[in-house]
Structure 1
C-alpha cells in the first residue's frame, strides 16, 4: 500500500487523528504501519521527496500559520513543507485534485504489512486455483502464489526484529503476478517511432531565432551610429576620427572651407528659428544631398541637427496595488529572469514596497539594457512620459486617474497596454479588458517553467511597439 495514497484516504475521511506515531513507526489505525522516515512519492519543488512523518505532522497542523508551523516542525527536527508546496499538497491530500505533477510513480511501497485479520483474509483470497476456481482458507493455503506469499509472511513473523519483510524478496513475489507500472521514463519508449523530425524542427527553429537576434543586433548597432560626430563647442576636431569623417564626406578639411572648428551655431540657429517665421526651403536644398563643398557650405547649420533622444532609460509602469499579479515587489525576478513569485510572498520577505526598481533586460539582448519599473505615474514629469513604453493594466479606469491624457483610449494608443492573468481564471475577469487596446498574456498557476515563455512574449510585444512608433529610445 502506498503511504501517500493511504494518508490521502485518511485525510479525505477526516480520520487523521487515528494516525499515531509509536516509536519509530507511524500506524494507520490497526491496518497499516510504516517507518517514520520513509520517503513518499510527493516531491518538493526543491527536488527532495517528503518523508511520511513530515506529511503527517503537516496535515495535522494545517490550521496553524505557516511561520508557527515551521517553528514547531524545526523544534521537532522534522522536514519542513515549503510555502510554495503548501497549497498544492493540501489540495491533493484533501481530495480537491485527483493528482499533481509533484507525485512520482515509484515501486510498490515495502516495509508495511496488514495487521488486521480482515486484511489477512483478503490476501488469503489470492490463493485461488486458476483452473478449478476452488478457494482455500487461511488454514489450507494450497500451493499457488498465495502459498509462497504466506510462506514469506511466516518468515517475516519469525524475523529477529519482527517488523519488516526483506524488500527484494517481496518485490520479486509481486512481480511474478503483476505487470510493472509504467513510470515517466518508460512511457516515453515508443517502438518503431523516430523523433528525428521533431529534433530537426527544433534545430531549425533555434537557427532562425539566432539569425533574427543577429539581424536585430546589427540593426540596433547601425541605428546607434551617429550620422555626424556630436558637436563639441570647445574643440570639435580634437579626434582623428572626426577629421577623417569630414575629409571623407567633403573631400577636404573643414578649415579650408572657412569653418571655424571652435564655434558652435546650435544656440544661434535655435534663436533665429524662434524669432523668424518659417519659410519654405530653397529649391536647391530640397534636391538630393550632393557631396560637394559648395552645397554643404550653403546649407543652414540647423539642418544637421537630429532629434535628440530622451534622457534616461525606458520606463514600464505597474499597478500600485497588492491585489495584482505584478507590482514592484516581484517585477524584477519576473522581467529579468522569467521567474514568477506571488507579490504577497515577496512582501513578507522584502517588507516595504519600493516605488522604483531598476532591471537589466537580458532576454533577446547580447548586452543587458537598463529599464525602470515604477508604480506611481503621478510622480513622472512631462519629459519622463516620453520614455514610458508599457503599462500593466488592472482593467479598471481608476488606475489612470490624474494621468496627463484624455482617457484610457488615448493612453493605450500611445503606450503599450499589457494585461497579466492566470490561464485557469474565468474569462469574465477579462471581459472589460478585451474591449481595450491591450495585449493579454497568460501565466500558469503551478507550472513555473512556463514563466519564461510569457516574459519572452512580453518583450517581443515591447520591441514591436517601439519599432512601429519609431520611438527614439534605446531599448
Structure 2
C-alpha cells in the first residue's frame, strides 16, 4: 500500500541515527516549555554579528531585582555628631556619675573575712592608725663644735667669705677680693685647726645667731665686733655689748691707719691691728688670736665642758 511505512521485522532492534535523536529531544523541550511564562532576559553584552551560529558568542541571562526606594524621612540610622559622644559611654558608666565607676583606690585582693589576706590587711591598717595617733617626738640635733661669730656687714675686715682663709690658713685677704661676683652668702663656714700634737679640731663660723638653740649658745666662744652696737641685736643678755664681752671672748680687727672704732673704746675687747703695707706680719697677728682664745677658754669655767667633751683641746 502506498504511503504506509514498512513494519519492523520482529526480533530485530532498529538503531536510530544521531540526527533523529536530536529532533526528539527538541520536540520534548518545546512541549515542556509551552505552559511556563516567558522571562525577559536582557542582553548583558552586544553579540558580535556572525552568519555562523556555531561561532556566535553565548549570552548569559540574569533576572532583574527590584530595589525599593526609601525617602530620606524614613531613614532611621543615627547621624554622626561630635557633640553627642557621651551617649556611647552611658551603657558603661553609672547613672549620675561622670566617670566609669572605677574605684582607683580599691584592691583586687580577696575581701572575705577570715582569710589570711584580710587578717594581714587589718593588721597593717591597725598598725598604721596607731602610728598616726601616737605623738611624734621631734629631736633637735645640734653641732658640738665651738662657734665663732663674725659680722654680716661687708665693711668688716672679716666675714664668712674670707674667714676660712684668715683663721685656718692665717692669711689675710680683704672680703671683697674673696667674694666672686654673683655668689650668694653662705649660711656658715667650717674651719679646721691643727694643734701641736697633729690633731685637728673643727670650728663653726656663723654671722646669724637667730637660729641658735640654747645648747648652741653655750658653745659661742668668740665674737668679732665691728663697732656699732646694732650688731648684737637678737643676742641674749638684752644685746648689751658690755655684758656680752664678759660672757664671750671679743675681738676687734681693724687697719692700723684707721684705729679702733669709737664705740669700742674703753671696753673689754682684744684688738688685732692689721697693716696694709706689712703683709708679713699678718700671720703672727692671727696666731695671737688663737693664743688669746685658748687662754680664755681654759680660764673661763663656763667653757670647761668643752674640754671634758674633748671637742676643743686634744688629749
TM score, norm. by length of structure 1: 0.33
Higher helix share: 1
RCO comparison, higher one (Cα < 8 Å, 6+)? 2
Larger radius of gyration between Structure 1 and Structure 2: 2
